[in-house]
Structure 1
Amino acid sequence: MELRFASPSPDLSALVTTYYLYRSDDRLIEGIERADVGQIRFMLQGTGAVRFADGHEDAAPPIMINGPGTGAASYRVDGPFHCFGVALRPVGWGAIIQQPAHHCADRVTDGGAIFGEEGLKLLESLRRMDSIEAMTAHVEPFLRGRARPVPAEHQQVCEAVRAWLAPTDASPHVATLFDAIPLSSRHVIRLVNQYFGAPPKLLERKFRALRAATALVEGGDPRDVAAPFYDQSHMIREIRHFTGHTPGTIATRMDPVLALTLQSTAYGELDQPDTAQKSRDVA
C-alpha cells in the first residue's frame, strides 16, 4: 500500500487542501473512512462501492464526487486499486462542484455527469501517468477552468466556520459561531449547510470527535482526550459514529489508511490556505 500527498499551487489553496495518490495491488481492499471532507476521486484502477452510515450503498463511478460525511463509511474495492484524489475546502466545493453540499452529503455523485466529456478525458490522461506530481500538474488547469466565483459574504462565513472549528485547546460551541458572524442564525445555518454539508451543531460534534480520534492516534492521554465530552460513554459513541472505531480499536486494530487520514497533517481541512503541507510519502 502506498499513499502520497501533494500540496496545491498557491492560487488554488483557497479551494483545495491537498491532492493524494493511493495505490494498493491487493485483490480486495476493504476499510473504513472517517466522516470526510468533500472530495473528487479519479478511479485510475479498480471498481467498488461505499456504504454510508444510514446503510445505503453507492457504487463507485469512474469519477467519484464524495460529498462531505456526517458519519463514518465503509468501502469495498476489487483491486488492484489506484486512485488520485482532490480534497476540497468548503469554498472549493461551491466553486468547483457547484452543488449544495448538504444535497450531496453521505453519498457518491457521478463526476462524469457533473464534469462531462472534459472530466472523462482528464481521467483517461491521469490513467496514463505514474507520479502524483504529473497528475497534480495535469488536474490543476482543469480545476482552474471549472471554478466559478463564490460570493464574498459566503467566503467570509466559510472562513468564520474554519476559524471557529480550528482551535485545538477548546471544544467549539455553536453560540460562539453565531456571535462571530453579523448575519441571522437562520442565514448562517443555510450557508453552512450549503458549503459544509451539515448544520453547525453537527459540525461541532464531528470535529470534536475527529479531534479526539486524532489525539488518540497521535498518542494523546485518553483522560485528556475525554475532557470535552459529557463522559466516557459519550466520547466512545461519538468517536465510533464519526470514525467507525472506538478508542480501544483505534489503539489496537485501526485501519491503516484511516489512521493516516486521521493524522493532523493529512487533509488539513482546518488549516489556513497559506499553511498547506508539502509533498510526502506514506507507505
Structure 2
Amino acid sequence: MTERPDSEALRRNMSPLSGIGRDGMPLSTNRAPPEDLSPWVARIVSAKSVNEPGSVIACGMCNDLIYTRYIFNGRWTAMSADGHDAYGNEVLLFGQHSKFMPLTCTGDVMSAGFGLRAGAFYTLTGRPAHDIVDRIERQDIFGILADDLREVFCDEYTPIQWNLALEEVLRRYIARVQPDPPDPISAAFEMAAFEDPTQSLSDFAEMHNISIRKLERMVKRDFGLTPRTVMRRARALDLGALLCGVADQEEEEEMMLRFFDQSHVIREFASFFGVTPQKFRAQPRPLLALTLEQRQARRLEELKRIEPGSHLPWYAADET
C-alpha cells in the first residue's frame, strides 16, 4: 500500500513498545483470554507507545465490543454521545459504537483493558448494551485499581504484565458475581458478523429457530444496535482495517465483494467513519488502527484462519 503522507512524522514522534506494523506504526499487545475467562471476555489488550512530550495524536475509535480501559501517562479527549470531555489516569467504560468516535491523545499512549463478548456486559452487570452505545462512563466496575494490583499499571511494567494483571482482575470479579454465560444466540450472531456480514437475517433466525423480532430484541440488548446495523458495521470495520494496513491482504477481494458497487462502498463507509475511503486512507489513523487490529486478530483466530499467538499478517517481519 502507498504510505500515508504524515506517517513518517508520526513514526519520528512515536516509539512503539507493544508491537510494530509493517508500516512502522504502533500496534497493541493483544490476545485471546485464557479458557476460564473466554465465556465472557473476548480480548485482553494493552498498548504502550512513548511519544514526544506535548505531541498530539488526533484520531478516534470504533468498537464492536464493550471495553474497559485504564488509560495513563497521557492526556485524552473524546467526543462521545454525551459531548466533549477530557480524561487521564482513570478507568473508563466504552460502549459499542454506532459510528466513529473522535479522540485525541497528548503525550504517551498507554492503556490496559479488555473487551467483553456480546451479551457478557448484560450477564455481568444486568445492564443492556444499548445503555452505553457511543458513550464513555467513568467507573472501575471490575476493580482494575484494587490496592494489590494498582502498582502494576504504570510505565515501569510491560504490556504483557498489564494483561496478566487484567486476567487476575477479571477472575476475581467473575468469582464474586458468578454470572451465567452470555446467550449463545448472541455469540452465534457475533460469529456470523465475522464470517459473512452479508448473510440474510431471516436465514440466521431460521437457522437458530427464533423469530426476527426475538433476534432484534437480543441483538439490541447485547450489541446495543439493530441486527442490520451490526452487519453493516462489520463490513465497514473490515474495510477500515484493510485501509489501515491491519488486515490480511489476502482477504481484500472477499471484503470488497460484500458491496454492490463503488458507490455502495463509499456510502456505507462514510456512514460509519464520516469520510470516503479515499479521504480515510489519506491520513494516518494510529489510534483507530489499534482497535481495528485487535478486532482482526480476534476475528482471524475465531474463524480458525490463524492459530492463537501466531504471527499476524500485518506485523513487521521481526515482530510476534
Structure 1 counterpart of 2:279, which letter?
T
- The normalised TM-score by structure 2 is 0.73
Once the two structures are TM-superposed, the CA of residue 76 in structure 1 deviates from its matched residue by 1.6
Correspondence 1:1-283 to 2 at 5 A: 1=14, 2=16, 3-7=27-31, 8-14=33-39, 15-26=41-52, 27=54, 28-52=56-80, 56-60=83-87, 62-112=90-140, 114-115=141-142, 119=145, 121=147, 122-127=149-154, 129-147=156-174, 148-151=177-180, 154-168=182-196, 171-216=198-243, 217=245, 218=247, 219=249, 225-263=255-293, 266=296, 268=298, 271-272=301-302, 277-278=308-309
Question: Do the aligned partners of 1:226 and 1:232 also contact (CA within 8 Å) in 2?
Answer: no
SS in 2 for 1:50: strand
Specify whether residues 221 and 191 from structure 1 end up closer, same or farther in structure 2 by C-alpha distance, changes over 3 A only: closer
Distance in 2 of aligned mates of 1:264 and 1:43: 17
Specify whether residues 24 and 55 from structure 1 end up closer, same or farther in structure 2 by C-alpha distance, changes over 3 A only: farther
Deviation digits for residues 69-111 of structure 1 (CA, Å, limit 9, x no counterpart): 1101110223233211212222443344543111011000112
Specify whether residues 140 and 221 from structure 1 end up closer, same or farther in structure 2 by C-alpha distance, changes over 3 A only: closer
Q: Percent same amino acid among aligned pairs?
A: 23
Which consecutive unaligned segments of at least 5 residues does structure 1 have?
A: none
Once the two structures are TM-superposed, the CA of residue 66 in structure 1 deviates from its matched residue by 0.4
Distance in 1 of aligned mates of 2:300 and 2:132: 21
Distance in 1 of aligned mates of 2:156 and 2:126: 28
Distance in 2 of aligned mates of 1:269 and 1:107: 24
Distance in 2 of aligned mates of 1:73 and 1:214: 16
* Greater Cα offset, 85-94 or 197-206: 85-94
SS in 1 for 2:195: coil
- The normalised TM-score by structure 1 is 0.81
Once the two structures are TM-superposed, the CA of residue 161 in structure 1 deviates from its matched residue by 0.4
Distance in 2 of aligned mates of 1:19 and 1:65: 14
Matched residue pairs, number?
A: 278
Structure 1 counterpart of 2:34, which letter?
S
Distance in 1 of aligned mates of 2:46 and 2:69: 9
Structure 2 counterpart of 1:111, which letter?
Q
Deviation digits for residues 123-179 of structure 1 (CA, Å, limit 9, x no counterpart): 454126411221122121211121345546x431122202321225x6233222222
Cα root mean square deviation, aligned: 3.3
Distance in 2 of aligned mates of 1:21 and 1:279: 19
Once the two structures are TM-superposed, the CA of residue 214 in structure 1 deviates from its matched residue by 3.2
* Greater Cα offset, 248-257 or 63-72: 248-257
Which consecutive unaligned segments of at least 5 residues does structure 2 have?
A: 1-13, 17-26
Distance in 1 of aligned mates of 2:266 and 2:61: 17
